[in-house]
A and B are shown apart, each in its own frame.
Chain A
Amino acid sequence: MPVAEAAAVGQELPSLAKDLTQRRIDVFSGVRPRSIHTDEDWARQKGFRTTLAQGMMSTAYASEMMTRLLGPGFVKGGTLSMAFIKPVYAGDRLTVHGVVKETRPEGAGMRVVVEVWCQNQHGEKTAVGTASGLTA
């Protein structure tokens, strides 16, 4: 059964675990010198302990969670808003979480609003936001 059929306020969505390897960061951001994402020396010069993953990788993870929840109603008609509140470093493991905050009628279906956040292996939130999409 699609999760959306059972979406209820307060429902916790199945979490996702993501390992942020340098290889994945390289493919996501494109390798180039003088990049805090792919040039370790440059990242250190800029004050970071090593290379950082782009915040946009966390939006992709939240998007995956919402597509699993709502299918086509997120791909077309979905929204996503995230703030990146703590750096995510190469080698970190993120866990992506979501909790249904609201459901409201829209068109022929319902809009499901979800609070989303990413947390690193130390239990620190790295990105927070809200996503929504439509049920069929």
Chain B
Amino acid sequence: MAEFPKLTYEALTVGEEFVSDTHLVTPEDIEAYAFAVDDHHPWFSGPSPFGGPVAHPTLMANQALSLRHSKYIVHAGLHAKMEFNFLEPVRPGMRVRSRGRVIDKYERRGRQYMVTEYVTEDETGAPLVRGQFTQMLIPEGTRHAGR
């Protein structure tokens, strides 16, 4: 059974790895995402140059961004940077998961950051999206000076 310690800058280790659960991509996922970002491209529900419906390219990004929640209780954080390399389209019916590895952590101007490289892959392990992201940690008992 997994245990979930609180995420702190001190507890975080460069090189530690995360893996998400596998998620079945459904037409409803794609429809909900289209509503959320107000983008109703016809390829999301009908024919596309890829032979059938495809998801919005960034559909599964939150699966990658949430990887640290697979090991830690995350008090609060902010997303600072995001990079994508779109290798293959995500399609409804795929079972996808994301894997990540912490490649850096640093403090700048009194704020703490972690950098994770990730890959989102299909059920055969074929990569669909690769990239990395930087997240700011907001420690327990502190406030972010909202700009």
A57, B147: Cβ atoms closer than 8 Å? no
B144, A82: Cβ atoms closer than 8 Å? no
A64, B35: Cβ atoms closer than 8 Å? no
Q: Which residue of B lies closest to A25 (CB)?
A: B36
Chain A residue numbers with a CB within 8 Å of B81 are 81-84
The answer, yes or no, to whether B39 is at the interface (CB within 8 Å) is yes
CB-CB contacts of B49-90 with A at 8 A, as 1s and 0s?
110001011100110010000000000101111111111110
Given the complex of chains A and B, what is the CA–CA distance between A73 and B56 in angstroms?
Answer: 14
For chain A, give the interface size range. Answer: 35 or more
The answer, yes or no, to whether A91 is at the interface (CB within 8 Å) is no
Given the complex of chains A and B, what is the CA–CA distance between A48 and B138 in angstroms?
Answer: 12
How many pairs, one residue from A and one from B, have CB atoms within 8 Å of each other in the complex? 119
Given contacts A78-B86, A81-B82, contact A47 B143 (CB under 8 A): yes
CB within 8 Å of A: which residues of B?
32-33, 35-39, 41, 43, 48-50, 54, 56-58, 61-62, 65, 76, 78-89, 138, 143-147
The 9 closest A-B pairs by CB, nearest first: A47-B143, A28-B36, A48-B146, A60-B37, A55-B79, A27-B36, A72-B49, A81-B83, A78-B86
Q: Can you name 25 A-B residue pairings with CB atoms under 8 Å?
A: A24-B35, A24-B38, A27-B33, A28-B36, A46-B143, A56-B58, A59-B61, A59-B82, A64-B39, A64-B56, A72-B48, A74-B86, A75-B86, A76-B88, A77-B87, A79-B86, A80-B83, A80-B84, A81-B82, A81-B84, A82-B81, A82-B83, A83-B80, A84-B78, A84-B79
CB within 8 Å of B: which residues of A?
18-19, 24-25, 27-29, 34, 36, 42, 45-49, 54-57, 59-61, 63-64, 67, 71-72, 74-84, 86-87
